[in-house]
Amino acid sequence: MIVLGIESSCDETAAAVVRDDRKILSNIVFSQLDEHRPYGGVVPEIAARSHLVHIDDIVGRAMAESGVNFADLDGVAATGGPGLIGGVLVGVMTAKAIALVHDLPLLAVNHLEAHALTARLSDDPAFPYLLLLVSGGHCQLLDVEGPGAYRLYGATLDDAVGEAFDKTAKLLGLPYPGGPAIEDAARRGRADRFAFPRPMRGRKGCDFSFSGLKTAVARTIHGLADPAADTADAAASFQAAVADILADRTANAIDRFRCDHGDGTLVVAGGVAANATLRARLAALAKSKDFAFVAPPPALCTDNAAMVAWAGIERLRLGLIDGLDFAPRPRWPLDAA
């Protein structure tokens, strides 16, 4: 089984061809970072226009590099949401055209499900498993029982963790995107320099909150005589606070998952899962709880089309095929997938 995947939900135009033995035959990603960096974030209209300009070339390159023809495909998968609707439309319409011309099944993939199932592409953990999904727009803990079968344990009450990274980086005068910039600066800083708060830590449940942490960083930086000289320490202290928050809430989720299923695997996925400090902290937590731990390679944590193709394979195996009348969705809760 071979599936072409297309990803266009934010600021990466991507296409990949993946085989059901977990072989990635191609995985092409065109980043729009240079187009959005002057604005300090993603501009939806610029993103949609860029997807439209580049999508045909990216799909063509992915097919050429894979060494297969459209006739060899068993399906075409595209991110159907959630995301910036202009970009999602570009990807879905491209996939529909390919599916129609080549008589292929269409698989409209929830972008969050693609992240959720990436660990099955890289490491193949058995269902069910506990997922910590951390990205620019989402921060959730879910019980993953299979494609289309998710139970939400907890989510952020305000900012997503990736959004908190981006906003904190901007406060610190670091470049966009904020996650890699803060991680790099934190390597040169002292994580114990600033006593930033850990919202929700010690409370019952699995929900998150990051807005108070972001506000504390803003107030601290505003009160410093020479903020530029303290950037590394602030970045390290912020990153340590995020690690503590994620570990605390995930520990509660592990306890709940154990009650539901017994021992299992903790999977961390999404763009923020590429952060080495957070990965190490969560791996240590899983070990202390006698859980296995899986984090996909960093290149598969950030947005890519290989994860979309793999989610398409998982859904195609179950006969979860979509019609050409599928309507792209700007919002699409994973537990309603």
Q: Which residues of 248-267 are buried (b: 16+ CB within 10 A; e: fewer)?
A: bbbbbbbebbeeeeeebbbb
Across the range 130-138, mean pLDDT stands at 94
Across the range 14-37, mean pLDDT stands at 94
Statement: residue 262 has pLDDT above 90: yes
pLDDT at 38: 85
Statement: residue 216 has pLDDT above 70: yes
Residue pair 83/138 in contact by the 8 Å Cβ criterion:
no
pLDDT at 334: 87
Sheet holding 129-134, edge to edge: 149-155, 139-146, 129-134, 265-269, 292-294
Statement: residue 226 has pLDDT above 80: no
pLDDT at 225: 74
Statement: residue 237 has pLDDT above 70: yes
With cut-offs at 50, 70 and 90, classify the pLDDT of residue 152.
very high
The mean of the pLDDT values for the chain is: 95
pLDDT at 325: 97
pLDDT at 248: 98
- What six digits make up the tokens of 56? 């045909």
Q: Which amino acid is at 306?
A: A
With cut-offs at 50, 70 and 90, classify the pLDDT of residue 41.
confident
pLDDT at 229: 77
As a whole number of Å, the CA-based R_g of the chain is 20
pLDDT at 335: 81
Instruction: Say how far apart CA 135 and CA 177 lie, in whole Å.
Output: 12
What percent of the chain clears pLDDT 70, i.e. is strictly above it? 99
Statement: residue 140 has pLDDT above 80: yes
pLDDT at 96: 98
Across the range 122-129, mean pLDDT stands at 97
Residue carrying the six token digits 């240079």:
34
313 CB-side CA count, 13 A: 25
Structural domains in the chain, sorted by start = 2-116+300-336 (3.30.420.40), 127-295 (3.30.420.40)
Statement: residue 39 has pLDDT above 90: no
